[in-house]
Structure 1
Amino acid sequence: MKIAAIADIHGNIDALEAVLADMEQHQPDLIVNLGDSLSGPLTAGETADRLLPLRLTTVRGNHDRALVDRPFEDMGDWEKPIFGELSDEHLQWIRDMPSAAVVAQEVYLCHATPKNDEVMWLEELLDNGRFTLRGQTEIEALAAGVTYPLILCGHSHVARSVMLADGRLIVNPGSVGCPGFAYHIPVDHKLETATPFACYALIEKTEMGWTPTFRQVRYDTARMVSMARERGYEDWANVLATGWVG
């Protein structure tokens, strides 16, 4: 079996189309979506219209939740620009998303961690605003009670796999549509992947066990860069164009 995992599209329809086209060469048996599909200053409505007919198993991310669990005035600057693009059907799709799911009887899906959609599972934010690999003990602790051999998560936008002590494998496919970001809570910080590619992962069950292949797909970023810049999101424009926030 071969599973394609996508995550953190963040309304970037051009990146999503590039990834879906790339998948056609590899013919996965199943595609799963690990959340944060729409929020960001790009094409939320168009992205939702593309995703809904695919009927992918999709878990709800923190930015998805922020579109449906609070009034508009309390939404963040990744939600407010695009909320008006979303139809009642789009919003109901988000409300119906589970926070976690299991596919193929042995693959566990969540957006960030099983108990918190805002905590990076594999990375840790340091006091200096930089990210590092989370310690093995902490990663193992966050996996307590999740007994499936393959665990898929997103949220950090960093493509990475971690093998747990008992052989369970955690895979983050990276971000389809947002190769970095800057934010100010709890400290000023930024994360940069240093390439503007659309990322996803193919994970295949082999005789040796589940084995990931990380795909980085080139696409024409010009339309999305221009849209972010026109809406006043210079950090987004920079990172979409270069992989660096700037």
Structure 2
Amino acid sequence: MQIAVIADIHGNDLALEAVLTDIEHHGITDIVNLGDHLSSPLNAACTVDILMARNFPSVRGNHDRWLVTLDPADMGRSDRAAFDQLSSHHLEWLRSLPATLIYHDEILLCHGTPESDIDYWLEDLTPKGIVHMADRHLIRERLAGVDFPVVLCAHTHVARMVRLPDGPLIVNPGSVGCQGYYSDEPIPHKVETGSPDASYAILTKINGKWDATFRRVAYDHSAMASLARERGREEWANVLETGWLDPASS
């Protein structure tokens, strides 16, 4: 059994199409989606149309939640840019998504953790805002009684797999459409992957044991960087172009 895991598309329809083509090339028809589908200065409407047509098992991310709960005037720039592209049926689709989902009776899907769509699961921060892998005891704490052989999470855009001793396989597939970001919560920090390529994961079950591999997929990231730049979002343009938030010349 093989399952493709996608997450954090962030309105990048070109990256999504490239990933779906790569998944098809591998002969995988089972796909699950871990949220933050649309928020960006990119192509929210095109992206949601693709997702609604394919109808993958999906959970909502924090940005998906904000798109349907916040007044547009209170939204961040990327959420508002996406919201302005969406129709009522797109928003209804977002509202229909659950916070968590159990797939094939043994895989738990969430965006951040089962308790929160804004908490990191496999990462932690130093007091100076440096992102690093979380201590295994903290990772286990965040399980909060979850008892499934596989847990899928997203939110940090960092592809990572952790296999806890006597515990589940926890997998973050990385981000399809956004390879870095700035955040002020819980303290100011940034995440950068150092590559513009789209990321996803493949779960494989052999002889009752689950494992994961990661795929990096090239696509026309320059086109999406140009679109972000045209729309006045230089930090988005940089990270789409290079995987780094600062300009290549800095």
TM-score (norm 2): 0.96
* Whole-angstrom CA distance in 2 between matches of 1:23 and 1:159: 17
Aligned to 1:17: 17
Aligned to 2:112: 112
Aligned to 2:226: 226
| Total equivalences in the alignment | 246
Aligned to 2:163: 163
Structure 2 residue 194 is the aligned partner of structure 1 residue 212: no
Aligned to 1:96: 96
- Tell me the SS of whatever aligns to 2:237: helix
* Whole-angstrom CA distance in 2 between matches of 1:234 and 1:121: 29
- Tell me the SS of whatever aligns to 2:190: strand
* Whole-angstrom CA distance in 2 between matches of 1:97 and 1:55: 11
* Whole-angstrom CA distance in 1 between matches of 2:208 and 2:104: 18
Between 123-132 and 51-60, report the one with greater CA deviation: 123-132
Structure 2 residue 12 is the aligned partner of structure 1 residue 49: no
Aligned to 2:144: 144
Letter in 1 for 2:196: P
Structure 2 residue 68 is the aligned partner of structure 1 residue 74: no
* Whole-angstrom CA distance in 2 between matches of 1:185 and 1:149: 30
1:54-85 C-alpha deviation (Å, 9 max, x unpaired): 01111000000010011111111221112111
Shift of 1:189: 1.4
Structure 2 residue 148 is the aligned partner of structure 1 residue 126: no
Aligned to 2:237: 237
- Tell me the SS of whatever aligns to 1:79: helix
Contact 1:6 1:201 in 2 (8 A): yes
Shift of 1:186: 3.5
* Whole-angstrom CA distance in 2 between matches of 1:18 and 1:199: 10
- Tell me the SS of whatever aligns to 1:57: coil
Between 47-56 and 158-167, report the one with greater CA deviation: 158-167
* Whole-angstrom CA distance in 2 between matches of 1:108 and 1:223: 35
- Tell me the SS of whatever aligns to 1:200: strand
Shift of 1:25: 1.4
Contact 1:182 1:235 in 2 (8 A): no
- Tell me the SS of whatever aligns to 2:89: helix
* Whole-angstrom CA distance in 1 between matches of 2:185 and 2:29: 39
- Tell me the SS of whatever aligns to 2:213: strand
Query: RMSD across aligned C-alpha pairs, in angstroms?
Result: 1.1
Letter in 2 for 1:178: C
Letter in 2 for 1:122: L
Gaps of 5+ in 1: none
Percent of residue pairs identical: 51
1:14-63 C-alpha deviation (Å, 9 max, x unpaired): 00010001011112241000000000110000100111010111100000
Letter in 1 for 2:105: Q
Shift of 1:208: 6.1
Shift of 1:125: 2.0
- Tell me the SS of whatever aligns to 1:85: coil
Shift of 1:222: 1.8
* Whole-angstrom CA distance in 2 between matches of 1:126 and 1:94: 34
Gaps of 5+ in 2: none
With over 3 angstroms needed to count, the CA separation of the structure-2 counterparts of 1:208 and 1:96, relative to structure 1, is closer
* Whole-angstrom CA distance in 2 between matches of 1:185 and 1:141: 20
